[in-house]
Structure 1
Amino acid sequence: MMEIERKYLVNSIDYRSLAFSKSHIVQGFLNSNPERVVRVRIADDKAFLTVKGSSNAAGTTRFEWEKRIPVHEAKLLLELCEEEILDKIRYYIKVGAHIIEVDEFLGSNNGLVIAEIEIEKEDDNIEVPSWVGLEVTGDIKYYNSQLSKCPFKEWKV
């Protein structure tokens, strides 16, 4: 029930041609407090309720509990969610021993593209492809729960 992941910005669209799968994801937050995030997600024809705890100091590890729920219940829960509902396309790319999930955000977060790599241990070696850029692991503004409060379009660049 511990999630360990690294997050990166993406600097090109080269990953698209390497993807073995992709899905459309809509998600909202019933609670976006960083100490206990409660998320509702619909990914294509599946839905999930997820609870996440606080991250460790490095931002790589945190408690995560997830349960599959009926899509019609998830749609009802989305109506209760806070502020912005996130909309994104997720691409799945196999690189070495890992699957990289690349999220292309839509709507108010359009233009933001983030790669996430789930790992077994914090010190796992990760093969980082050339289309992966700056690491943003632990930078809270890139957490989905924060993107729902302060979307990318509102950032001062």
Structure 2
Amino acid sequence: MIEIERKFLVKSEVFKNKAYNSFNIKQGFLNSHKERTVRIRLKKDKGYITVKGKSTENGLSRFEWEKEISNIEAENLLILCEEGIIDKRRYEVKFGNHTFEVDEFFGDNEGLVIAEVELNTENETFKKPEWLGKEVTGDIKYYNSQLSKQPYKTWK
């Protein structure tokens, strides 16, 4: 239940042609405290509730628990969420031995594109595709829970 991932900005749209899957995601937060978040997500025809703990100091690891719920349950829980619903399209791109999840944001976060790769250990090496930009692992402003409060359009 420990999630280890690295996060990067994306510098081109090349990933779209390499994606083997893509779908829209709508998500909100019942709780977006820095010590823990409780997320509600609609993805395809399924709902999910996810609890995430505080990240380690380097931002690579944190506790994550997720449970599938019905689409109707997720829609009802989204109504209770804090202000700032996240709307994005996720692209799944295989590169080397890993799958990169690339999120293209819409609404108040339009223009922001972030790629994440999940790892088995914090020291695991992986090939980086040419479209990856600056690493932002551990930079809290790129967490979805923060983007819901301080959207990309408000950054200077």
TM-score (norm 1): 0.99
Deviations 1:39-84 (A, max 9, x none): 0000111110000000001001000000000000100000000011
The residue number in structure 2 matching 1:152 is 152
The residue number in structure 2 matching 1:90 is 90
Deviation at 1:155, TM superposition (A): 0.4
Cα distance in 1 between the residues matched to 2:56 and 2:85: 26
Identity of matched residues, %: 58
Deviation at 1:130, TM superposition (A): 0.8
Q: Which runs of 5+ in 2 are unaligned?
A: none
The residue number in structure 1 matching 2:114 is 114
Provide the secondary structure at the position in 2 that maps to 1:55: coil
The residue number in structure 2 matching 1:20 is 20
The residue number in structure 1 matching 2:40 is 40
The runs of 4+ residues in structure 1 deviating greater than 3 Å are none
Cα distance in 2 between the residues matched to 1:48 and 1:97: 27
Deviations 1:106-137 (A, max 9, x none): 00000000000000000000111110000000
The residue number in structure 2 matching 1:127 is 127
Provide the secondary structure at the position in 1 that maps to 2:22: strand
Cα distance in 2 between the residues matched to 1:75 and 1:121: 35
Provide the secondary structure at the position in 2 that maps to 1:116: strand
Paired AA for residue 85 in structure 2:
I
Cα distance in 2 between the residues matched to 1:11 and 1:117: 16
Aligned residues: 156
Cα distance in 2 between the residues matched to 1:116 and 1:35: 21
Q: Which runs of 5+ in 1 are unaligned?
A: none
Cα distance in 1 between the residues matched to 2:126 and 2:10: 15
Deviation at 1:87, TM superposition (A): 0.2
The residue number in structure 2 matching 1:56 is 56
Paired AA for residue 95 in structure 1:
F
The residue number in structure 2 matching 1:9 is 9
Cα distance in 2 between the residues matched to 1:67 and 1:76: 16
